[in-house]
Structure 1
């Protein structure tokens, strides 16, 4: 049985592991080994992760008791993180999490959602109505990572 609930500080270690495992396997076709290493090293910024859980709108998807995905909304309009466990890809989990994130943004009367999206995630974000604003080159530890600034306008329903 799958459920979605608010994230909590006690989820920290499991979310960090899911982040690393997902990037390392799912994003492998789109990024080099060095790029993946630099990207996953973000897991070591413990304060950023704690701040996310304390200050952002965080949802986790559970399959029974295992966390199989999570999404975060910062400042009501920026999707900071959206990851689905490597063993649970293509089962509608990202769609479920995204739907709840968008619902929260609409409740906060946001006019748009934005996200910085990996090459791997771009297709998913386009499928839920986002458009690319521009391609970005992000430098991390001297390594270039390509991602896309994307936006979706939220019109009242």
Structure 2
């Protein structure tokens, strides 16, 4: 497995991974209406381009396929964190998270935060993240629950 920073040419594959992962991995924690509201964000292409251009975006690559990615905004906020549905539980998330935390430390951050899905909460808790608040977000008139979590570095 190799790691590299994302470029605009990775955008489509990143978006496909985002949609496929949410639809398959999160289906036990969110209903179909919630999943559709969640993945609707993929249509905001400007936001995705801004993420690639302004955030630390780390891709995990096997062969020529993106198998996971994480993004760090402002040196202390994990914005996107997704592992390909066919590559779950293979240590990819651990490696990406370790590299994001290291990057946050390089940027002198003492705390790293993220808004974590119901699905990902147990993983992040095992990695030392603490729930600070349950959040109820409304997207397209649908309520989506996630958790504001943080970890001291």
Fold similarity call, TM over 0.5: yes
Question: Mapping of 1:113-128 within 5 angstroms?
Answer: 113-128=112-127
- TM-score, normalised via structure 1 length: 0.97
Aligned residues: 153
Tell me what 1:97 maps to: 96
Tell me what 2:29 maps to: 30
Q: Kindly report structure 1 stretches of 4+ aligned residues shifted beyond 6 Å.
A: none
State the distance in 1 between where 2:60 and 2:48 align: 18
State the distance in 2 between where 1:127 and 1:3 align: 24
State the distance in 1 between where 2:108 and 2:123 align: 24
Q: What secondary structure does 2:61 align onto?
A: strand
Tell me what 1:42 maps to: 41
Cα RMSD for the two superposed structures:
0.5
What CA deviation, in whole Å up to 9, does each residue of 1:109-141 have, x standing for no partner? 101000000000001111111000010000001
Q: What secondary structure does 2:125 align onto?
A: helix
Question: Mapping of 1:45-56 within 5 angstroms?
Answer: 45-56=44-55
What CA deviation, in whole Å up to 9, does each residue of 1:30-51 have, x standing for no partner? 0000000000111000000000
State the distance in 2 between where 1:26 and 1:116 align: 17
Tell me what 1:132 maps to: 131
* Residue 75 (1) aligns with residue 45 (2): no
Unpaired segments ≥5 residues, structure 2: none
Unpaired segments ≥5 residues, structure 1: none
